[in-house]
Chains A and B, each alone.
Chain A
Amino acid sequence: MSERAAAIVIGAGIGGLVASAYLARGGVHTLLLEAREQPREPAEALIALDARVISELRLLSRGLVFTHRDLPLAVQGEISFLLGRDLHAASATLSKFSDADALTWPRYRRTLMAEARKLRRWWWTMPEEERPDLGWSAGARHAFQRLCLMGADAYLGARFETPALLAALLWDASAGGFSVNEPGSALALVWRAAQEMEGRQAATTVARPGSLVMALTKAQTMAQFRPKARVTQIVTRAGGVTGVLLADGSEIETDHVISSLLRARTLRLAGFPETEARIGEAQILLRLRSGFHASSAARHILVSRPDAHIDAHEAARAGRIAANLPMEWVMLAPDLIAVTARPVPAPLKTEGRARVAAQAVMALSRALPGVAEALTGVEVHLRPGRASLSDLLAPPVSRITTPIKGLLLAGESAEPLPAISGRAARVAARLVLSH
């Protein structure tokens, strides 16, 4: 007789851990399956970690430590400068390069935040509720329609003139696989701002490595964690989930599966042929020897020119890795640097991974001399994804639910733009609990 669980969570990433913590808290017998031995630790700065998840799961008292909050944006292009939350200080910095940009900055940030607040209704509205734009004036609707159809290069290009600033600000617009000159990319920029606002007091934070996973592991102790359990099939019958099949051949029966894997991968496990995105972003984790003393509390954007984003997108679509790949890096700890490079072609073969890693190390060596020598290990992960405008405007539940009854998504791809948030996992768990 085969095993049975009330709910199964696939993948012990942040989404999986959050989902199983909520399920266990709700008294549901939950099995958390992870293909590796350990839950995977996020290798990036946290821009969108949901404040409600932090408080409801009491993560701060369970060991989550933020080493940095409110990381400023460090622009490292033709010229380098730092932009923090203080609008006046940022303006003063920009006035060294362009008076017009210095004048525009505070207005731009306020507009962006105002637009982001509007979008939050698109994050929460359920399909049966009224349209999020109900009650907007015709003028506001028109402005929003323009924003939706705009490329971020036009949106930002109408505001700023310093190329290095433009190049850095465009970074956020390429999240989710957008080219910065296509419709949806300006909206991606606003979505990123909306995700940042979720961090409430802290726009971009850095957690002490391991502390988020540790706090979440403590929060879900009531759930059963099973490492080295790779799911090979999600078993369905008559359009509903009946269980999962593991690599060792065993089957576990259940009515509810929450997957923190990518949408396409999850649906493939369930026998739904879904095409995976042809481009994505590479996450490169650089481990340094402990003697390497450097510290930097900033989100560094390495982009040579605004065009580099478009060049890289064209290259990635053609299956190539651009020569000047736009990158972002954050120092997670004195011996740990997270680099994100995008867009890159997907899937990324071993040779491609090596080339991306080499580019990252070379680019970083200019900012942090000695990094190459201090390197003790490199990991490259690929996060495939090619969002479209309609994805950004879809009701949130449509990202979490699937065509299969009982199969829900809780991973990064269930967010409007991929980000570690925990929000989708929380909603997915609540949907299971409401059954």
Chain B
Amino acid sequence: MRYDAAIIGAGADGLTAAATLATAGLKVVVLERSARAGGRLSTLEFHPGHFASPFTDTVTEVPPAIARALNLKLRAAPALPAPLRADRHGALARAFSEAVETRPSGALARWLAAPAPSWPGEALATQQLAAWPELRESASMGRALDLELAGSALALLSLPRAEALSGGLGALGEDFVRAAEAAGAEIRLGQEAVEVVIAEARAAGVALADGGRVMAGAVISTLDLKQSLMSLFPRSALPARMLEEARNWRMAGASARLLLALKRPLRRETPLLLAADDQARAAFRRGVLPMTPSLRLDPVSRRDASLAPPGAATATVTLSGIPHRLFDGGWTQEKRTALAARALLRIEKALPGTVATITGVRVVTPPDMEALLGATAGDLDGGNLAPDQMLSLRPGPRTALPGFYLGGRSTQAGALGTGAAGFAAAAALMAEGAR
């Protein structure tokens, strides 16, 4: 059986690509390594009766057109200042239009090409996040940014943050699955792609870990750039420049999470933000656990009662600037406990009495994110949001290998919206088919 497209990864991007292609009448299969679809859009019962999303509470907004097409149920995200909103929309539109654009080919065409107009949002590449006091907390959450350095303002493009109406991000994931299935896409769980099959200098299918093969006219990988190019191909299969780009692509997860089951609701209704001290960034660079980590305590069950049993509460703590690799070895149980203890100590100081109400804690570290999501170094952004890795300098959906597309967070649209990269990859694939 031969498919028109095989999609690697059943996260928001993979499912959006599947829904888009299947709606257009293509025969689509989605291959997912784990036993459930949704990727980071998941909700976990981490303690009896207590539910939370393990990786993040919110995701970058799904572009409204995609949310409508897939019939997603989303809580309205707080509005961005108008210029930022325009930048974001402009950059997304640019990413989509470049995905379907015919490229000039050949040296002469490149030479004659007029200078490309700059991308909307490019001005942020020389601005500081510190200049946006009202937005910097949410833009820097779960990251390791120096707010005072030029270019840190690019993190603003990952705003606004969206969440599910009810049931945590897992419910949003189910919406995506439903949309893909309703369109006619096939989702195969527990099937790990290990290699892209190349035939006649074109991507022609996917080899699976169990020895099976899925043949397809085109392949979309929603894995990050490093995984896509360095783990799905034998070394000699890709042009050296592509491999070099993947090797030099910088990824560093910096986010850790605590999921807290509480006997009774917190006294606060809004998130509590505790900033890091000035040693925290140096600790991150050195691979040391910060003594006073930057954290955001979010009483999630205040907004979504389905996340906790009646009378009890669920809260999440998102820690920023947590190194993926520790200088003195792995993330042992002791270090996980130490991290949780330091975070809880800070919370107890700010909200006395909180710790006594905790009935259950789950710690999620950057290596956990890597193991569970497959994100290199636990990086949820698909690559550092540095100026030389954003906008036009992020890879587009097309690659040098015909029939092979990138549709994950590492791509241009991936940094700008949830599901957007999958949509861009599907659009690029269809544009090629149309030619």
Contact surface of A with B, Cβ cutoff 8 Å: 133, 137-139, 141-142, 145-146, 149-151, 154, 158, 179, 181-184, 307, 310-311, 314, 317-318, 388-390
Cα distance, A317 to B148, chains bound together (Å): 9
| Contact status B388-A150, CB under 8 Å | yes
| Contact status A182-B151, CB under 8 Å | yes
Q: A149-B125, A154-B250 are in contact. Are A182 and B278 (CB under 8 A)?
A: no
| Contact status B388-A138, CB under 8 Å | no
B149 within 8 A of A: yes
Residues of A within 8 A of B116 (CB): 138, 141
Query: 1/0 per residue B184-224: CB within 8 Å of A?
Result: 00000000000000000000000000000000000000000
A-facing residues in B124-141 (Cβ within 8 Å) = 125-126
B110 within 8 A of A: yes
Residues of B within 8 A of A138 (CB): 110-111, 113, 115-116
Q: A183-B126, A318-B278 are in contact. Are A146 and B393 (CB under 8 A)?
A: yes
| Contact status B282-A314, CB under 8 Å | yes
Q: A138-B110, A141-B115 are in contact. Are A388 and B150 (CB under 8 A)?
A: yes
A-facing residues in B18-72 (Cβ within 8 Å) = none
Cα distance, A146 to B148, chains bound together (Å): 21
B393 nearest in chain A by CB position: A146
Q: A154-B250, A318-B278 are in contact. Are A390 and B386 (CB under 8 A)?
A: no
5 pairs from A and B in contact (CB 8 Å cutoff) = A141-B116, A154-B248, A154-B250, A307-B286, A388-B126
Query: 1/0 per residue B263-289: CB within 8 Å of A?
Result: 000000000000000100110011000
Interface size grouping (class) on chain B: 20 to 34
| Contact status B146-A314, CB under 8 Å | yes
Cα distance, A139 to B107, chains bound together (Å): 9
B160 within 8 A of A: no
A136 nearest in chain B by CB position: B115
Q: How far in angstroms is the closest Cβ of chain B from A388?
A: 6
Cα distance, A96 to B151, chains bound together (Å): 37
Contact surface of B with A, Cβ cutoff 8 Å: 107, 110-111, 113, 115-116, 125-126, 146, 148-151, 247-248, 250, 278, 281-282, 285-286, 386-388, 392-393
Residues of B within 8 A of A318 (CB): 278
Tell me the interface secondary structure of chain A in the complex. Answer: helix
Q: A145-B393, A146-B393, A183-B126 are in contact. Are A151 and B388 (CB under 8 A)?
A: yes
| Contact status B115-A149, CB under 8 Å | no
User: Which residue of the partner chain, among B111, B248, B388, contacts A149 with CB atoms under 8 Å?
Assistant: B388
Q: A142-B392, A146-B388, A149-B151 are in contact. Are A137 and B111 (CB under 8 A)?
A: yes
Most B CB contacts (10 A, CB to CB) among A138, A142, A310, A389 go to A138
Q: A138-B115, A154-B250, A318-B278 are in contact. Are A181 and B150 (CB under 8 A)?
A: no
| Contact status B126-A179, CB under 8 Å | no
| Contact status A183-B393, CB under 8 Å | no
| Contact status A183-B286, CB under 8 Å | no
Cα distance, A137 to B115, chains bound together (Å): 8
Most A CB contacts (10 A, CB to CB) among B126, B148, B150, B286 go to B150
Cα distance, A154 to B393, chains bound together (Å): 14
Cα distance, A122 to B286, chains bound together (Å): 37
Cα distance, A145 to B392, chains bound together (Å): 10
Cα distance, A145 to B388, chains bound together (Å): 8
Residues of B within 8 A of A317 (CB): 148
Cα distance, A145 to B125, chains bound together (Å): 11
Cα distance, A154 to B385, chains bound together (Å): 13
Q: How far in angstroms is the closest Cβ of chain A from B281?
A: 6
User: Which residue of the partner chain, among A149, A158, A310, contacts B387 with CB atoms under 8 Å?
Assistant: A149
Residues of A within 8 A of B250 (CB): 154
B384 nearest in chain A by CB position: A154
Cα distance, A62 to B386, chains bound together (Å): 50
Q: A158-B248, A311-B282, A389-B150 are in contact. Are A139 and B392 (CB under 8 A)?
A: no
17 additional A-B pairs beyond A137-B107, A149-B125, A158-B248, beta carbons within 8 Å, are A137-B111, A138-B110, A138-B113, A138-B115, A141-B115, A146-B388, A149-B151, A149-B386, A149-B388, A150-B388, A151-B386, A179-B149, A182-B151, A183-B125, A311-B282, A314-B278, A318-B278
